[in-house]
Amino acid sequence: MADLRTNFADIKSPNPFWLASGPPTNTYGQVAKAFDQGWGGAVWKTIGEPIINVFSRYGSVDLGATRMMGFNNIELISDRPVAENLKEIAEVKRNYPTQIVEWVKEVATIPVIVKLTPNVTDITYIARAAVKGGADALSLINTINSIVGVDLSTFEPQPSVAGKSSHGGYCGPAVKPIALHLVSAVAADPSVKIPISGIGGIASWRDAAEFIALGAGSLQVCTAVMHYGFRIVEDLIDGLSTWMDERGHRTLADVRGRALPRVTTWEELDLNYHLLAHIDQDKCIKCELCWTACEDGAHQAIRRLPRDNGGPVVEIIEEACVGCNLCAAVCPVQECITMRQVPNEYPPVSWKEYAAGKGKLAPRSEHFHTATWAPSPK
């Protein structure tokens, strides 16, 4: 089995999965239970005085049948006294000496992990400031400023506190793409050479592996635990180690940052890499969702065919397809629409090179420029 042991800023843990600061790390009982179930570490819920929270403090965004696709909170702080929390943190340290609360004995000071907010224009600027200030590691992201909705019968923004609300912090699966981008941006910054703990929408081993591939040295989870409980750690550990075994990655270091060299800027991308949508007619269920999307929302590059002969009902108009991917994204059947490379003999050329007069663009279809609206047959 792959070795998931983690040494993050001299904090050793049996696996990279830590509970993020939040309601699941409120009490000794919760953290102890989580450790018993296999969590590698825990960041205690923020504590302080005075203890004042509002009533009704969570808002949720559902997507179809998926509950809590996005989650938002206006919770400031632990509802429990500081002294009580400190007593329980000491108890955790006593009873779970091998979890995150143990740090390498040779170091004299407790590692400081600075948690970064995403609510800034350029997170790398803040990350560099934290490094300058002596941080041992960074964790990101904290929650994103948000209002999750408005009750249209009362005009109360949600979650409502006696008829009013304030912006809250957004988290859960909806924020993962933002978190992945920010983790990669910080990890790629040459002046940030300290470990990064990835947070934001992690709910599966795949999410975890993606964060690690983009440079995270450990992972933190809050919303998924609030939704499904501590037991998800079993799937996280099993899934990650099975995948690592299958791919021949022995340790997390073999995976960490592997995707980073592939993150670049738009002007560095190859303009001569051309794609075309391809429909597997054997898989097509004839729903025509791809046609609607391409017709109204893209490039009118799918032709509708008469339904009466029992054959295909949609086909790609190759000279009109710009390879944008929209049809593949809307098709409800896995792998029914795939994007295929159209080879050409032109060497790669980036916008940067092209704009500087270097390199040649492979020809693009005239149709891209000349297409006009022409209704498809009914």
Contacts with ligand SF4 by CB under 6 A lie at 277, 279, 284-290, 293-294, 298-299, 301-302, 314, 316, 321-327, 331, 333, 336-337
Does residue 306 have a cis peptide bond before it, meaning omega lies within 30 degrees of 0?
no
CA-closest candidate to residue 41, choices 60, 56, 58, 24:
24
By the rule CB under 6 A, 130 interacts with ligand FMN? no
Strand (E) or helix (H) holding 353: helix 351-355
Q: Tell me which of ligand SF4, ligand FMN, none is bound by residue 289, counting a contact when its beta carbon lies within the kind-specific cut-off of 5 to 8 angstroms.
A: ligand SF4
CA-closest candidate to residue 15, choices 25, 6, 24, 27:
6
> Min. distance of Cβ 340 from ligand SF4 in angstroms?
10
> Min. distance of Cβ 257 from ligand FMN in angstroms?
21
Judge contact between 227 and 68, C-beta under 8 A. yes
What sign has the CA pseudo-torsion 248, 250, 252, 253? negative
DSSP string, 206-237: HHHHHHHHTT-SEEEESHHHHHH-TTHHHHHH
Q: Tell me which of ligand SF4, ligand FMN, none is bound by residue 279, counting a contact when its beta carbon lies within the kind-specific cut-off of 5 to 8 angstroms.
A: ligand SF4
Strand (E) or helix (H) holding 351: helix 351-355
3-state secondary structure 322-336: CCCCHHHHHCCCCCC
Q: Tell me which of ligand FMN, ligand SF4, none is bound by residue 222, counting a contact when its beta carbon lies within the kind-specific cut-off of 5 to 8 angstroms.
A: ligand FMN
115 or 249, CB closer to ligand FMN?
Answer: 115
Stretch that binds ligand FMN, among 20-28, 117-125, 158-166, 184-192 (CB under 6 A): 20-28
Strand (E) or helix (H) holding 7: strand 6-8
Q: Tell me which of ligand FMN, ligand SF4, none is bound by residue 236, counting a contact when its beta carbon lies within the kind-specific cut-off of 5 to 8 angstroms.
A: none
Q: Tell me which of ligand SF4, ligand FMN, none is bound by residue 101, counting a contact when its beta carbon lies within the kind-specific cut-off of 5 to 8 angstroms.
A: none
Stretch that binds ligand FMN, among 195-203, 209-217, 263-271, 278-286 (CB under 6 A): 195-203
CA-closest candidate to residue 45, choices 29, 28, 31, 26:
26
> Min. distance of Cβ 328 from ligand FMN in angstroms?
27
By the rule CB under 6 A, 117 interacts with ligand FMN? no
Residues in contact with ligand FMN by the rule CB under 6 A: 20-23, 45-46, 71, 73, 75, 115, 142-143, 171-172, 175, 199-202, 221-224
